[in-house]
Amino acid sequence: MTGPVLLLLGVILASLSFRLFRYSLSKTKTDRVLDRLGEGQPVAAETASGWTALERMFMRAGLGKPTDRLGLWLTAWVLGALLGLVVADWLGLLAMVVLPPLLLRLYIAWRYQRRVQRMIEQLPQLLDHTVRSLKSGRTLADAVLGSIETAEDPLKAAMGRVVRNVQMGVSLPDSAHDFAELYEKDEFRLFALGLKVNHRYGGNASELLENLIKVIREREQGIRQLKAMTGETRVTAYVLAGMPVALVGYFMTINPGYLMTMWNDGPGRTLLYLAVTLQVLGCVAMWRMLRSL
């Protein structure tokens, strides 16, 4: 069986190499320049597709474009699937085909939440620097762009999108609105709304930003208090979700025959399927309840 697997692997790798070679030949210098200029620019909603949504997920998580390492990801996925086929037959193939995309999706979501939380924590510092720049006599646009340059990552890298849009002729309020809609957080939307109101109706920008700083800090403090008050509930949910999995792992380590006897029996296998289904449904229900806290 090793011979056909190696032959299939060689054909797949040769196909990927030929595809990458054709792509490098067909992509002219003008196309590269246009792609570089358009990197991170707003995407029209009507042109959104599955691939656009994937690029959006990678961009929000700070992972760049998925096309940067597409060949590497596909090669690793194919190798994992073939390894699963060799080790555990069709069940291993199915597991290695389904699990990597699922784990990648969970990792992107976790990285996005962690990154955007850090950005929200850095936002009051950026606004405070903007207020000081305004009081020193700078315009609102210069103060905001200057504050972005002095910010730290990940906020500086993420708001580089705003700087690029402004340099290409997009107004600052529209650039901030595009940034806020990309990351879908109320704090960024309040910031964009404040810039839009000041741009359209005028007023004291320093006072507006100071009030925004106060709102963001009070909101962050309220979220931390809520997490502290619901900590016991969260720990209980984690224990209830992890206990059945831990027990199964313990039985498979100490006495594998205990569960294998049920797996080899028809009614016992049905009960195991039912237990797995109930476990998944229970985890989903607790996850939904935790999200509402």
CATH code for position 155: 1.20.81
CA distance 207 to 131: 8
More confident site: 3 or 99: 99
Residue 139 lies in a domain: yes
How many domains does the chain fold into?
2
239 inside domain: yes
* Range ranked top by mean pLDDT from 47-56, 68-77, 155-164, 245-254: 155-164
Q: Find, among 153, 148, 118, the residue nearest to 130 by Cα.
A: 148
Give residue 143's domain range.
117-213
- Give domain status of residue 66, yes or no: no
Residue 265 above 60 pLDDT? yes
| 137 and 201 belong to one structural domain | yes
Q: Within this chain, do residues 124 and 207 fall inside the same structural domain, yes or no? A: yes
**Residues 192, 117, 176: CA angle, nearest 5 degrees:** 15
**Residues 145-197 pLDDT 10s:** 888 888 888 888 888 888 888 888 888 888 889 888 888 888 888 888 888 88
| 122/200 same-domain check | yes
Q: Given 163, 183, 213, which residue is the final one in a domain? A: 213
Domain termination residue (choose one: 152, 180, 213)? 213
Q: What is the pLDDT of residue 7?
A: 55
Does the pLDDT value for residue 34 go beyond 70? no
Lowest mean pLDDT among 2-6, 218-222, 244-248, 259-263: 2-6
Q: Is residue 29 part of a domain?
A: no
Flag whether 48 is in a domain. no
**Is 76's pLDDT higher than 50?**
yes
Residue 38 has pLDDT above 70, yes or no: no
Q: From residue 291, how far is each of 153, 170, 233, 242 by CA, in Å?
A: 27, 36, 12, 18
For 252: left if phi > 0, alpha if psi spans -120 to 50, otherwise beta; the answer is alpha
- Could you tell me the two tokens for 119? 């950005």
What pLDDT shows up at residue 48? 45
Q: What is the pLDDT of residue 250?
A: 84
Q: Who has greater pLDDT, 136 or 72?
A: 136
pLDDT band at 46 (very low <50, low <70, confident <90, very high): very low
Res 20 pLDDT > 50:
yes
Higher pLDDT, 230 or 179: 179
Do 262 and 188 lie in one domain? The reply is no
Query: Is the pTM for the entire model greater than 0.75?
Result: no
209 shares a domain with 239: no
Same domain, residue pair 196 and 241:
no
Last residue of a domain, one of 179, 213, 247: 213
Top-confidence residue, 10 or 189: 189
Give ∠ CA 133-178-115 in degrees, rounded to 5: 80
Q: Is there a domain that residue 240 lies in? A: yes
In-domain check, residue 28: no
* pLDDT value at 44 more than 50: no
Higher pLDDT, 16 or 230: 230
Average pLDDT of the chain is 77
pLDDT at residue number 196: 87
Q: Which of 276, 242, 240 is nearest to 259 (CA)?
A: 276
Greatest pairwise CA separation for the chain in angstroms: 80
For residue 73, being part of any structural domain is answered with no
